[in-house]
Structure 1
Amino acid sequence: MSWKVKHNAKFLLLILVISSACTELDYASTDPIVGRTCEGSDQCETLNKYCCVIGAYRPGLKGECQKRPVLGQRCSITMFRSNAYNNLYAPYVGACPCVEPRKNVCTRSLKYRYQLGVCQPW
Structure 2
Amino acid sequence: MATLKFNNTRSDESGLINMHINQQQRLDHLIQSNLQHRKWLYVLSERLAIRDCPEYCIKLNKPQPMKLFSWLEKIIQAGQANAIVVEELKLDEMSKKRLKLLCNQYKVTVVNLNLHTTDNLVQGPW
**TM-score, with structure 2 as normaliser:** 0.23
Query: Which is greater in Rg?
Result: 1
Q: Which has the higher strand share?
A: 2
Q: Which has the higher helix share?
A: 2
